[in-house]
Structure 1
Amino acid sequence: MKRIITFGTFDIFHVGHLNILKRAAALGHHLTVGISTDALNYSKKQRYPVCQQASRAEIVAALRCVDQVFFEEALELKREYIEQFEADVLVMGDDWAGKFDEFKDICDVVYLERTPSISTTELIEIVKEL
């Protein structure tokens, strides 16, 4: 069996997050999830997550399909995280298709289709309009 690793912010946890984590877990026997820190999220999106990193990690860690959670401090450390957690497969959403192919020298890279019609950004915009 294989060790799987994936990364994400997982802010305002929704069914799309659950779907991709369950599907990632089904690819192996151990799922490790890197949760983007608040600072990393700000550097990527110029906004902090609605939920703080400790809360997001607690939610993801409580899922049956998740075996291990850690904080992703920087995008540039992905290779080190893959090696540190001895991942055989890196799983990402298909919105990242091709962007992580550089890691194919150390693990398989799989892009899973996202759940249609739901995203955290979309949910935040809807709530703002209320």
Structure 2
Amino acid sequence: MIKVLVFGTFDGLHEGHKDFFRQAKEYGDHLVVVVGRDSTIVKTKGRPPKFNENERLKAVQDCGLADEVRLGNEGNNPYKVIEQVKPKIICLGYDQTHFTEKLATRVKELGLHIDIMRLKPFHPEKYKSSLLNIPD
């Protein structure tokens, strides 16, 4: 089984997010979506999400594109979920920046062999969260 991992806030799930899931799923046969914790979003974005972590988790589950949906880790190790899931591939959104700058280095430090792919945008002029007045 080839596990593909994606992570994000998904605060106000829209077609851009769904396309992101569809693209990621093409790289393997088991898509794991990690939904960021409220506390992590406050730390990284300086504001709380519009929808709480359980609402965002349910929205991703309900869209039916992921094989597994889970909340991210609390605390100071945002990469812990990678150790737990052990994906073959991590897919990043075209504009995803949080936790990505050290991702390849951290994966190597963990002794894991994971391909990191940057996915294509899906009509970013229309479906970018900031344009939809949805916190990304």
TM-score where L is the length of structure 1: 0.84
SS of alignment partner, residue 123 of structure 1: coil
| CA pair 74-111 structure 1, distance change in 2 beyond 3 A | farther
Q: Which runs of 5+ in 1 are unaligned?
A: 126-130
SS of alignment partner, residue 120 of structure 1: coil
Q: Distance in 2 between matches of 1:77 and 1:52?
A: 18
SS of alignment partner, residue 56 of structure 2: helix
Q: Distance in 1 between matches of 2:44 and 2:16?
A: 20
- Alpha-carbon RMSD across the aligned residues, in angstroms, is 2.0
Q: Which runs of 5+ in 2 are unaligned?
A: none
SS of alignment partner, residue 102 of structure 1: helix
For residues 21-60 of structure 1, the aligned pairs below 5 Å read: 21-60=21-60
> Does residue 94 of the first structure (1) align with residue 89 of the second (2)?
no
SS of alignment partner, residue 78 of structure 2: helix
SS of alignment partner, residue 31 of structure 1: strand
Correspondence for 2:129:
120
Q: Distance in 2 between matches of 1:4 and 1:55?
A: 23
Higher helix proportion (structure 1 or 2):
1
Does the CA contact (< 8 Å) of 1:103 and 1:109 recur in 2?
no
61-70 or 12-21, which deviates more: 61-70
**Aligned amino acid, residue 133 of structure 2:** I
> Does residue 61 of the first structure (1) align with residue 61 of the second (2)?
yes
Give the % identical residues. 26
Kindly report structure 1 stretches of 4+ aligned residues shifted beyond 4 Å. none
Question: CA offset at residue 64 of structure 1?
Answer: 2.6
SS of alignment partner, residue 59 of structure 2: helix
**Aligned amino acid, residue 90 of structure 1:** I
Correspondence for 2:78:
77
Question: CA offset at residue 94 of structure 1?
Answer: 2.3
TM-score where L is the length of structure 2: 0.80
